[in-house]
Chains A and B, each alone.
Chain A
Amino acid sequence: MNIETAGFGALVIVAIMALVTLATRWGGVYVMAFVPIGYRVKQFIGAMSGSVLVALLAPMALEGDTAARLALLTTAVTMLVLKKPLPAIAAGVLAAAAFRQFGL
């Protein structure tokens, strides 16, 4: 099912996002009142939260133009070296900008 983003639809989308997020903020506490969350479930949740980001990024890196790939590469390397997200994001964006301004 698709929701139109024009007019009222966008607000519905935000409301759905808010409810889903609220369910995650309350769900852990709620479930713990009945059964402790087990080791396997914790492993699944932990692995899934990182994987969803990777799943979003993979096609972006594969289908993106050279500037996009350069930006992602720069962010990854800067993040590995400095371990600080802000400079890493800034470096990636700058790399894309530089490539497009003076680009090939």
Chain B
Amino acid sequence: MHGINEELHRFDRYTVWAGFRTLVPISMFVVIFGAAFGLAATQAGLDDSIILAMSGLVFAGAAQFAALELWGSHVPLATLVVTVFAINARHLLMGATLYQWLQHLPRAKRYGVMLVASDANWALSMQAFGNRQPGMGLLLGGGIALWAAWVAGTWIGILFGGAIQDPRMLGLDMVMGCFLLAMVVGGEKNLRVLMIWTVAAGASLLAYRYLPENSHVVAGAVAGGIAGTVCPEKTREH
């Protein structure tokens, strides 16, 4: 590592607090998403305490919404594990990209800050490191702000969820589907991505029709992943 970069991984309570404040505006939106999750989870029939525990311990929106899709009187364990892993696999890339700064931290801190790693605070901390500014405060402080907003939002959603008589007539059964779709459409869009989506959708529908129940998620994820490997990005690394 270059001498000048060696100090960038450092953080103290001031930089963590600054990171927390930086992420507060974005966290306001996370509260609303959390409320949408709390609402959807109530409709899916989960107990209030289970919903709160999920948001507090898992802290991964898309994976939590997807889990609701699998929720019934029983949940298929293997499908759940693969689904949650596949959706959250992008965390692996976050850890990998942050490694060159994380490696200077003692082990407890290194894995401690990663507890709250998610899309927004990762992006901002990478941006800071890229500009040769310290980014760990953004990752940790920002992550704490996002986590608190997610849990608070979930709780608000649970309160509302109990009060609504016929959620289906209000279109609220579609919150989960629309959330996941917005995540898909909001991502990168080009011919390669379109090809990957087509393969994933095709594999999912085939598995949905011909293979055992719930295997369509795994089939689509693996097929799309393979399609992405077969047809790699040509221009740049990220």
Contacts and interface: CB of A to CB of B under 8 A. Distances in A.
B81 to A, nearest CB: 6
Given A3-B75, A48-B89, A29 B225 contact: no
Contacts of B64: 17
Interface string A54-83: 111111101010011001100110011001
A38 to B, nearest CB: 10
Interface string A15-40: 11110111111111111110011011
A104 interface: no
Given A32-B99, A53-B183, A100 B92 contact: no
A32 B200 contact: no
B140 interface: no
Given A25-B88, A89-B179, 19 more contacts: A2-B76, A6-B73, A10-B47, A14-B50, A28-B92, A29-B95, A33-B99, A40-B232, A49-B88, A53-B183, A54-B224, A55-B200, A56-B180, A58-B208, A85-B182, A86-B29, A93-B171, A93-B174, A97-B169
10 contacts: A2-B74, A3-B75, A20-B81, A20-B88, A28-B94, A29-B102, A36-B96, A56-B217, A85-B179, A101-B169
B115 interface: yes
A26 B184 CA distance: 24
**Interface of chain B, helix or strand or loop or mixed?**
helix
Interface of B: 29, 32-33, 36, 45-47, 50, 53-54, 57-60, 62-64, 66-67, 69, 71-78, 80-81, 83-99, 102-103, 110-111, 114-115, 117, 168-175, 177-187, 193, 196-197, 199-201, 203-205, 208, 216-229, 232-233, 237
Nearest to B103: A33
Given A21-B63, A45-B89, A51-B200, A60 B208 contact: no
Taking each of A31, A57, A100, which has the highest tally of chain B beta carbons within 10 Å of its own beta carbon? A57
A92 B77 contact: no
Given A5-B71, A5-B73, A55-B220, A50 B115 contact: no
A82 to B, nearest CB: 10
Interface residues of A, number: 77
A71 B185 CA distance: 14
Contact of A50 (B54, B96, B168, B184): B184
**Interface of chain A, helix or strand or loop or mixed?**
helix
Nearest to A98: B171
A24 B89 contact: yes
A85 B119 CA distance: 14
A56 B75 contact: no
Contacts of A51: 86, 196-197, 199-200, 220-221, 223-225, 227-228
Nearest to B47: A10
Given A2-B75, A79-B182, A100 B233 contact: no
A25 B115 contact: yes
